[in-house]
Amino acid sequence: CIMRRKDRERSDPVWIDETLRRSDACHLALLDGGKPYVIPLNFGFERTGDGTLHLYFHCAKEGKKLELIRQNPLAAFSADTDHELVTGESGCDWGMNYRSVAGEGTVIFVTDPAEKKHGLDLLMEHYSGRRDFNYNDHVFAVTEVLRLTVAACTGKERK
């Protein structure tokens, strides 16, 4: 996709990862037939050795988003942070400073127990700064973990 404001575009993976680290929710966009369906989710993420970005989400084992993913695993996402209102004399002087990341990829259901725990660990680390958690076997069994493998993403910043 072509960004109109090239002066605000950010493509550096370090910048993108830092923006994700500072964001407290990721909005996942799916297709519901011909209509968009967007939901904010808690998330964790990692970048693999080859530079691939993975986002992890967790949820119950049933629900609308899971039905939509089964029908079509292609998804878009966005996350944003560092919001700061800019004021001025006229309405045209007002605006918002921000950092954001948006992209697209494919969502899979994580079935391997080791990767499922890894995904949950990344979620917990994102919000707590720790990865040394144990998970109740029953809760672990009824928790769905999703992985979005990012095919393309870009960042944008106004400061």
Token pair for 16 = 């993108």
C-alpha distance from residue 60 to each of 51, 101, 153 (Å): 30, 26, 27
Query: Residue 146 has what pLDDT?
Result: 98
Distance CA 80, CA 59 (A): 21
How much is the pLDDT for 6?
64
pLDDT, residue 18, reads: 97
CA distance 68 to 82: 31
Which pLDDT belongs to residue 130? 93
What is the predicted pLDDT for the residue at 93?
Answer: 86
pTM, two decimal places: 0.92
Give pLDDT, residue 3: 54
Looking from the CA of 35 toward its CB, the CA atoms found within 13 Å total 3
**Alpha helical stretches, state H, the chain:** 13-22, 64-71, 113-128, 137-141
Give the pLDDT of the chain (159 residues) as one tens digit per residue. Answer: 555 666 667 789 999 999 999 999 999 999 999 999 999 999 999 999 999 999 999 999 999 999 999 999 999 999 999 888 998 989 888 988 889 999 999 999 999 999 999 999 999 999 999 988 999 999 999 999 999 999 999 999 888
Quick one: pLDDT at residue 96?
84
